[in-house]
């Protein structure tokens, strides 16, 4: 019987270590996910780190809430003109939040959402507007991720603690911002 207790204790400690390191199980093993927002020049605006099995849509609002861009005068700008995202972020809650903040949503509608809306008929609501030219700029997020991955330690997550990994992400984001400034 004591061996079973030791095995359970070991499993509990391992789970606590994984949770503390923001690691989660996904198909590829133990991983973490980085959610970020970028501007059109691939500069990072906000970063969130979650365990690997976390869903995409619930992280949409926390990423948006962390966006703060300082201008030459006044308080930091926290509301973008438009937000482009892929179909994973096409939920009613995300669209409603963007609508209340008067932010244009450039997110295509999922096929099942479209079918459900059409099935409901006139009470299903209006079709989602989608600007294809603005949606083409969505690749700036992927390009921003590629710029982050130029640092091998960030691409392979060598850091054991989420704090040091997040610090590396923020440092890389700062360097990208500094490189984008005009030289004097």
Place of tokens 């409901």: 120
The DSSP code sequence of the chain is: -HHHHHHHHHHHHHHHHHHHTT-EEETTEEEEEEEEEE-TT--EEEEEEEETT--SGGGHHHHHHT--B--SSSSPB---SEEE--GGG--HHHHHHHHHTT-EEE-PPPHHHHHHHHHTGGGG-PPPP--HHHHGGGHHHHHHHHHHTTSHHHHHT--SSHHHHHHHHHHHHHHHHHHHSPP-
Residue 108 is predicted with a pLDDT of 83
Residue-number span of the structural domain to which 55 is assigned:
2-180
pLDDT tens, N- to C-terminus, the chain (184 residues): 455 677 788 777 777 666 665 666 666 666 778 889 998 888 999 998 887 777 888 889 999 999 988 888 888 888 888 888 888 888 888 988 999 999 988 888 888 777 877 777 777 677 677 788 888 888 888 898 899 999 888 888 777 777 888 899 999 999 999 998 888 7
Q: Which long-range contacts (CB under 8 A, 24 or more apart) does 121-128 make?
A: 128/90, 128/95
Q: The pTM is what?
A: 0.74
Radius of gyration of the chain (CA): 20
Our count of domains for the chain comes to: 1
Residue 53 is predicted with a pLDDT of 76
Contact 106, 131 (CB under 8 A): yes
Residue 1 is predicted with a pLDDT of 47
């Amino acid at each position: 019987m004591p061996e079973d207790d030791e095995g359970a204790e070991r499993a509990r400690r391992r789970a606590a270590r994984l949770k503390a390191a923001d690691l989660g199980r996904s198909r590829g093993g133990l991983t973490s996910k980085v959610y970020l927002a970028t501007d059109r020049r691939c500069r990072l605006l906000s970063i969130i780190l979650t365990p690997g099995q976390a869903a995409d849509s619930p992280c949409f609002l926390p990423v948006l809430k962390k966006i703060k861009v300082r201008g030459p005068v006044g308080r930091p700008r926290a509301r973008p003109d438009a937000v482009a995202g892929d179909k994973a972020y096409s939920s009613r809650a995300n669209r409603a939040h963007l609508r209340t903040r008067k932010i244009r949503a450039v997110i295509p509608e999922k096929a099942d959402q479209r079918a459900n809306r059409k099935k409901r008929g006139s009470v299903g609501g209006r079709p989602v507007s989608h600007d294809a030219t603005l949606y083409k700029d969505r690749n700036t997020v992927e390009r921003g991720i590629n710029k982050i991955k130029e640092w091998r330690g960030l691409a392979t997550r060598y850091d054991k603690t989420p704090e040091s990994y997040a610090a590396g992400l923020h440092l890389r984001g700062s360097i990208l911002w500094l490189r984008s400034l005009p030289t004097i």
